């Protein structure tokens, strides 16, 4: 079974041709395409095959955040950084596109109508982050946004590693590098506390 292939560079060119501001960052460091009404032509990048088979799925799944973050995810390539549910950015090592077959089967063969259901990013740390997995993978955040997140966080039963990160920020130490990825010393401490 062959799934549709995606080239992030070509997708990025198509997105920018339809909506030149889609990937432009706003004052909160968020791509403008995620905060404004999306051009319906962009949703054509999320399916392969006949529109009539996938139109209802697009109307259900591509409203607002879901479709927009999938479009953003199509532009990410290995080596790029993404924001993660771990509280800091991660470098992408590999990408897996999860397609859903839609429509009728003919003579026990799939009809070739596909809808992009999810994008799975594997980071260099070995963890998988799904887009649009409920805030698991999203555009990378600035170092200031990451620090604000950790300082705002108020856990009822915090892990010792979380408290160490908060204390290091309050003391003026950095726990992340210039890309927003956690430093090795803190990363090792997080691994120890998760055992």
Per-residue pLDDT of 146-173, as tens digits, reads 988 888 877 766 777 778 888 888 898 8
**Residue 155 burial (10 A CB sphere; 0-12, 13-18, 19+):** exposed
CA-nearest of 30, 66, 21 to 140 is: 30
Asked if residue 45 and residue 112 are part of one domain, the reply reads yes
The C-alpha atoms of residue 135 and residue 34 are separated, in whole angstroms, by 13
> DSSP alpha helices (H): ranges in 117-194?
143-152, 160-170, 184-193
Asked if residue 45 and residue 125 are part of one domain, the reply reads yes
Asked if residue 130 and residue 148 are part of one domain, the reply reads no
1 is a domain residue: no
Higher-scoring residue by pLDDT: 3, 165: 165
CA-nearest of 174, 169, 195, 171 to 185 is: 174
Asked if residue 72 and residue 48 are part of one domain, the reply reads yes
pLDDT tens digits, residue range 24-80? 888 777 788 887 777 777 777 777 776 665 565 565 555 567 778 888 899 999 999
Asked if residue 95 and residue 174 are part of one domain, the reply reads no
Asked if residue 166 and residue 110 are part of one domain, the reply reads no
Asked if residue 27 and residue 97 are part of one domain, the reply reads yes
The pLDDT score that the predictor gives to residue 172 is 87
Asked if residue 96 and residue 186 are part of one domain, the reply reads no
Higher-scoring residue by pLDDT: 57, 1: 57
Instruction: Please tell me the least confidently modeled range out of 77-81, 132-136, 179-183.
Output: 132-136
Q: What is the residue range of 123's domain? A: 8-138
């Amino acid at each position: 079974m062959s799934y549709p292939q995606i080239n992030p560079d070509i997708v990025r060119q198509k997105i920018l041709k339809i909506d030149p501001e889609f990937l432009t960052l706003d004052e909160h460091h968020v791509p403008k395409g995620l905060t404004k009404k999306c051009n319906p032509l962009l949703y054509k990048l999320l399916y392969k095959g006949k529109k009539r088979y996938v139109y209802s799925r697009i109307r259900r799944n591509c409203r607002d955040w879901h479709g927009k973050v999938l479009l953003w995810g199509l532009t990410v390539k290995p080596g790029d950084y993404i924001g993660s549910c771990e509280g800091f950015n991660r470098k992408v090592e590999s990408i897996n596109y999860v397609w859903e077959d839609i429509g009728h089967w003919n003579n026990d063969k799939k009809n070739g109508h596909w809808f992009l259901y999810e994008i799975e990013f594997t980071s260099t740390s070995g963890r998988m982050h799904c887009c649009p997995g409920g805030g698991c993978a999203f555009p990378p955040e600035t170092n200031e946004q990451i620090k604000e997140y950790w300082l705002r966080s108020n856990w009822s039963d915090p892990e010792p590693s979380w408290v160490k990160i908060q204390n290091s920020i309050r003391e003026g130490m950095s726990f992340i590098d210039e890309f927003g990825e956690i430093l090795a010393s803190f990363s090792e401490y997080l691994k120890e506390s998760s055992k």
